[in-house]
Every structure is written in C-alpha cells, then in structure tokens.
Structure 1
Amino acid sequence: MPYSLEKLEELSDGDRDFITSVVSVFVEETPADMKELEQAVQTGDFDAIYRHAHKIKPNVDLLGMEETTSLIRVLETKAKEHTDISGIKGMYAEVKEQIREVITELKTDFAL
C-alpha cells in the first residue's frame, strides 16, 4: 500500500468520519493542485513550483506517503534554489504517478 493512515489515525484518535473527510478532500483537491504544479514545471517557474510543492507536501505526508514526501521535499528545495529544472521535471513525473496511484486506491478503499 503506497499510503498509510497511521498519522491520520493518531491525529484523529481513530475517528473514522474525520479520516474519511480528510481522504475525501485529498482525493477531490489534489488533482487540481497537481495541475497547477505541472503548469509551473512546464513553464520553468521556480517560484510557482516551490509554492505548489509546498502546498501539496503536508497532505501527502499526512497520508504516510513517505517516498512521495521525500521527492516533493527535494523538488521544493531545487525550486527554491532555482536549479535543475530537468531534475524537477523527472521528480514531478514520479510524484504525479505516485499520487495518481494513491488516489485510485483511496477511491476504492473508501468507496469514493
């Protein structure tokens, strides 16, 4: 499973309604956030890349997506330093695929 509800369960004291609500918001809002990040990556707008990556990072972290969180941290750092746009593009592609997979699983697991 590419995600873990451990942090959410701890944060919510096991409140299933809260967990389902957070998951629903992630599934609904993250695709739009990713589109904005993709546009920034395509145009090489380092400041926008940083902003959008920074916005997405806590959400993937909360869902225990450790590999994705690590990639976003590196992507965020490179954007902040205005370096390595080709590396950022590669990392973005990985992040996009990982998030797509998790959203698919969450929709199934939570019947969304």
Structure 2
Amino acid sequence: MGENSDLVLDNINKIEGLQDLNQKYLNAINDSSSTSAQEKLNKLRKSELDMLKNMDKLSQNDLDRAEKKLKIALAQIALEEAQRNKSQLQLRRDSQGNYSYVYTADNDAIDSARDN
C-alpha cells in the first residue's frame, strides 16, 4: 500500500479490481474440498462484491480490505478443518485400565492453522 491507496478508483480500475477480487474468491471456492466451506466463501463473496459494487467512491483500500477478509475466512476454515479432522492415532487407557487406539485431531496441524 502506497500513498495512492486511499485515492478513488476510476471506473476501469474499479471494474478490474472487482473482477480480480471475484476471481480470487472463485479460486478459493474451487480449491475448497468441503461444501460448508464453499458455501461460507460464496456467501462472503456475494456480500463483499455487492457492497463494493454499490459504493460511490471505491478506493484501493476497500479492495485490500475485502481481500484480507478472504484471507481471514480461509484461515478460519483451515483451523476448523484441522480441529475436525481426526488423523492422529493415539493409545489411550480407559478408567478400567484397558488400552485402545483412538483417532484424535492433529495438534501440530491445529497450531499451524492458528498461526496463520
């Protein structure tokens, strides 16, 4: 972001910026493996693009903010999926002293998703 990031975009730059942003959302939706994540991203895409299209004066800061919202949503989805995925096999002992294997969430994947 430079000193010109708060300047209002002209119509050509506005259309180009909105198309680029829309493509980033569509790529993220296509790359997502879960239906719930796709729905969440599509809902965010529609609301952000509608809001930006209806703005009288659109600046680069507005486009950057919408792109950051996308990155935050992707990080939240990655964290939720890491918490939900049970990929680690651990040996556990129950209250009666019996051992059994239990699938648990991968704490390293959760920590990595939190860091993002």
- TM-score, normalized by length of structure 2? 0.38
Structure that is richer in strand per residue: 2
Structure that is richer in helix per residue: 1
Give the structure with higher Rg (CA): 2
